[in-house]
Each structure stands twice: as structure tokens, then as C-alpha cells.
């Protein structure tokens, strides 16, 4: 379908005002009217070449990118362990279910638990939201307000970036997938004063321990 082109602004003003107009306006009106092809009339020659591009159909619209789904993060399911200096960091994630994927984090140093975190990845019509909250070993929350919320800003097979739209504590939580069983969790904190603070912990997937043979059942064989 060709593109609809309204009459030039000058013509609209002349036809909608009083019954008289100046000779100069009349000349402009006549030349403008002659430049526009009448209905059912096809311009020829050079004029046809100048008008044809204006009537060309617009290019087809690009299909929107598919929305991110929790299935894109299903590889997180399982237990993970990473070393952060003298500290040991552990994560455990459940499989996505009913639009939510939950996880827990524990940080230990010298046989003492420093902090516990609970994660929730929530699938929404706009993408994926990442909620997190810190607790003491007695489950007293560190945050006195709502849980921290970060929104998915980009996702590809190697990098998932969540961004905090409100504060810089943290500003970004980034998952860098190194291979099927290794990924780095990067946290970027932007304080009100001072420099950017970056924490990176590389996690390795923990394989389930092999089941021990049942001595009782073996004896009965």
C-alpha cells in the first residue's frame, strides 16, 4: 500500500480561510495543485521517477526479540561452591517451577557463617526479576526494607546481567558462564561516596556424592 501524503500546509491554509487571497498566494496555490497528480492520473517521464519512491511500500518491520524465560537459567539448578580468599561460598538452586526459581547462599570463614542470602528469580511479562535478601545465621534480615530488586538488562548464553534501577547496592549482579559446570558471579556496588566495589566469586558445580552400596541388601543376594 502506498504512503498517504496530505496536501502541503500552504494549500490547507488557503482552502480553509476567507474567499479571497493575494495574487502571490494564488500563484503558489496553482503551482502546488499542478505538482500533485489528480486521482486516476499517472504522472509520466521524469515526474514518475520522482513520485514513485514516495509511494513505495515501507520495509517489513523487524520481529521483536523473544522475551527471556526462566528456562534460560535452568542450568543453575544444583549445588555450587567457590573460594573467596579464606572464605567458602556455597549456593544451591532449585529448578524453575510456577514462574519462580529459588536459591540460597551461605558464606563461611573459619567454620563461622558470616551471612546467608535467599534468592528468587521471578518470570514476568517484561523479563526476569532478581530478588535477594541477606540474613544472619538466626535469620534476622539485614535489610530493614523490602528485598533488593534487580531487573534483567541483558542475557546471552555466556552473560546474564541484572541491574538495580533504584540504588547502587548492588548496581549490577552479573553471571558469567565459563562452561557447563563453571560460572563467575560478579557483584558491582556503587556507593554514594567512594569508588566502585567489585566482588567476583567463581563457582564450580558440585557433583552428587555416589551412593554407598547397601550392605544389608548385598548380604541377602
**What is the chain's pLDDT, residue by residue, as a tens digit (221 residues)?**
544 444 444 444 433 333 333 433 333 333 333 344 444 444 445 444 544 445 566 666 655 567 899 999 999 999 999 999 999 999 999 999 999 999 999 999 999 999 999 999 999 999 999 999 999 999 999 998 899 999 999 999 999 999 999 999 999 999 999 999 999 999 999 999 989 999 999 999 999 888 888 766 555 55
User: Do 90 and 193 reside in the same domain of the chain?
Assistant: yes
pLDDT of 35: 41
Residue 62 domain flag: no
Task: Note if the pTM is more than 0.85.
Answer: no
Whole-angstrom distance, CA of residue 32 vs CA of residue 21: 15
Asked if residue 112 and residue 189 are part of one domain, the reply reads yes
Quote the pLDDT of residue 21.
37
pLDDT for 212: 82
Q: For residues 47 and 127, state if they share a domain.
A: no
User: Based on the domain organization, do 94 and 165 belong to the same domain?
Assistant: yes
Number of domains within the chain: 2
The whole domain housing 106 covers: 70-205
Residues 42 and 95 in one domain: no
Check if the beta carbon of residue 61 is closer than 8 Å to that of residue 68.
no
The C-alpha cell at 184 is 563467575
Query: In this structure, are 82 and 35 located in the same domain?
Result: no
CA distance 36 to 39: 9
Closest listed residue to residue 201, CA positions, set 124, 107, 115: 107
Helices (H) and strands (E) in the chain, counts: 4, 10
- Specify whether 113 is located in the same domain as 16: no
Amino acid at each position: 500500500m502506498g504512503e498517504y501524503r496530505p496536501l502541503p500546509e500552504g494549500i490547507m491554509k488557503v482552502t480553509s480561510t476567507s474567499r479571497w487571497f493575494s495574487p502571490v498566494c494564488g500563484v503558489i496555490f496553482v503551482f502546488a495543485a499542478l505538482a500533485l497528480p489528480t486521482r486516476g492520473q499517472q504522472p509520466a517521464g521524469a515526474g514518475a521517477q520522482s513520485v514513485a519512491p514516495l509511494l513505495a511500500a515501507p520495509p517489513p518491520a523487524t520481529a521483536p526479540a523473544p522475551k527471556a524465560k526462566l528456562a534460560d537459567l535452568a542450568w543453575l539448578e544444583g549445588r555450587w561452591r567457590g573460594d573467596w580468599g579464606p572464605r567458602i561460598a556455597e549456593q544451591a538452586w532449585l529448578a524453575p517451577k510456577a514462574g519462580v526459581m529459588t536459591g540460597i547462599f551461605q558464606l563461611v570463614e573459619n567454620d563461622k557463617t558470616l551471612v546467608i542470602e535467599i534468592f528468587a528469580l521471578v518470570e514476568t511479562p517484561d523479563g526476569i526479576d532478581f530478588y535477594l535478601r541477606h540474613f544472619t545465621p538466626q535469620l534476622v534480615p539485614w535489610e530493614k526494607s523490602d528485598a533488593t530488586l534487580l531487573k534483567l538488562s541483558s542475557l546471552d548464553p555466556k552473560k546474564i546481567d541484572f541491574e538495580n534501577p533504584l540504588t547502587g547496592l548492588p548496581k549490577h549482579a552479573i553471571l558469567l558462564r565459563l562452561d557447563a559446570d563453571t560460572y563467575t558471579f560478579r557483584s558491582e556496588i556503587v556507593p554514594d561516596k567512594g569508588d566502585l566495589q567489585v566482588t567476583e566469586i567463581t563457582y564450580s558445580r558440585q557433583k552428587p556424592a555416589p551412593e554407598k552400596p547397601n550392605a544389608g541388601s548385598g548380604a541377602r543376594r
